[in-house]
Amino acid sequence: MRLKGKKAIITGAGQGIGRSIAIKMAQEGADIVIAEINPKTGPEVKKEVEALGQKALYIFVDVANSEQVREMVEKVLSLWGRIDILVNNAGFDRGATLLKVKEEDWDAVLGVHLKGTLNCIQAVTPHMIENRYGKIINISSIYGRSGGIAAISYSSAKGGILALTKSVARELGRYDINVNAVLPGLIYTPTIAKMPEKYRNMIIENTPLRRMGQPEEVANVVAFLASDEASFITGAWIEVSGGWNM
Ligand SMILES: NC(=O)c1ccc[n+]([C@@H]2O[C@H](COP(=O)([O-])OP(=O)(O)OC[C@H]3O[C@@H](n4cnc5c(N)ncnc54)[C@H](O)[C@@H]3O)[C@@H](O)[C@H]2O)c1
């Protein structure tokens, strides 16, 4: 119960990695806000968290919309009075090679990942500064560090999240707020299940552990970073990739 009594916002917690983070943090004693654009999956995860004996809220939000994010944070504070943990996990990809990237797709992908991460951090930070306590974990990707195939917008957004993580960590460290990034490799989620097998196998062949990861393997690391066991870690990029980037 490393997160007993803590209040956590997890974006994109309706499925995949975000859902596993919500469940892991609830198992560790945190109350969970599922900040999710999908009105079907969000309430399902809310029930799963409540079944573990923790409080849960489902709040519909598009993280790319700063006003919706501000309203979401205000609602959490009015209901629960505090926010200790923020996990920026929401996202999607519209993969394309360089000359095929459409402007609207670039804007949408950078909007959800990079601007969405900034929106959520800006909205929770005044409260965390006042409390002199906060754990912010941003979900980037191995592609943010190394680039990816047919993933121009996605890799750029995820690379931006890495730089944002370090910049924000430098600003907020003096307020006892830890800001870190987790870089998953290929993780088996509903979205990855739809990826062509040929493409998945290509990544697996370049992964020393020779398999995909499970969402729980990312959630374990995120929960550690959200706990006080990671109190002297900030501005770090931690890969959970089976060694892909070595
Ligand atoms: N699965 C992987 O292999 C992998 C690898 C590296 C990084 N990641 C990153 O991990 C995170 C989760 O990945 P996943 O595979 O679980 O994804 P997923 O597509 O299974 O789940 C993403 C969730 O985010 C929600 N979402 C999308 N846009 C949103 C918005 N604007 N506002 C709020 N919620 C929104 C979706 O509804 C969905 O529930 C993403 O940031 C992804 O880029 C995943």
Give residue 185's identity as a one-letter amino acid code.
G
Ligand 1: which residue has its CA nearest to atom 1?
187
**Tell me: the pLDDT tens digits for 21-48?**
999 999 999 999 999 999 999 999 999 9
* Gap from CA of 89 to ligand 1 centroid (Å): 6
Average pLDDT value for residue range 129-153? 97
Q: Which pair of tokens denotes residue 97? A: 């090679």
Which CATH fold would you assign to the domain 7-240?
Rossmann fold (3.40.50)
Residue 11 Cα, ligand 1 centroid: separation in angstroms? 9
Q: Which atom of ligand 1 is nearest the CA belonging to 14?
A: 39
* pLDDT-above-70 percentage for the chain: 100
Tell me, yes or no, if 154 is annotated catalytic. yes
pLDDT band at 172 (very low <50, low <70, confident <90, very high): very high
Which one is catalytic: 58, 133, 143, 154?
154
Q: For residue 139, give both structure tokens.
A: 């979900």
Would the pLDDT of 246 be above 90? no
Average pLDDT score over residue span 162-177: 98
Report how far ligand 1's centroid is from the alpha carbon of 130 (Å): 30
Write down the pTM of the prediction.
0.98
199, two tokens? 């493409």
Where does the pLDDT of residue 200 fall: very low under 50, low under 70, confident under 90, or very high at 90 and above? very high
- Our CA dihedral for 159, 232, 130, 85, rounded to 10 degrees, sits at 60
Question: In 3-state terms, what secondary structure has residue 31?
Answer: strand
Residue 97's Cβ-side half-sphere holds a number of Cα atoms within 13 Å equal to 2
Domain ranges of the chain: 7-240
Nearest-atom index, ligand 1, CA of 63: 32
pLDDT score, position 177: 98
Q: E strand or H helix at 58, and its extent?
A: strand 56-60
Whether the Cβ atoms of residue 11 and residue 89 lie closer than 8 Å to each other: yes
DSSP-derived secondary structure letter, 228: G
Q: Would the pLDDT of 149 be above 90?
A: no
Report which secondary-structure segment, H or E, holds 183: strand 177-184
Instruction: Report whether residue 61 contacts ligand 1, using a CB cutoff of 6 Å.
Output: yes
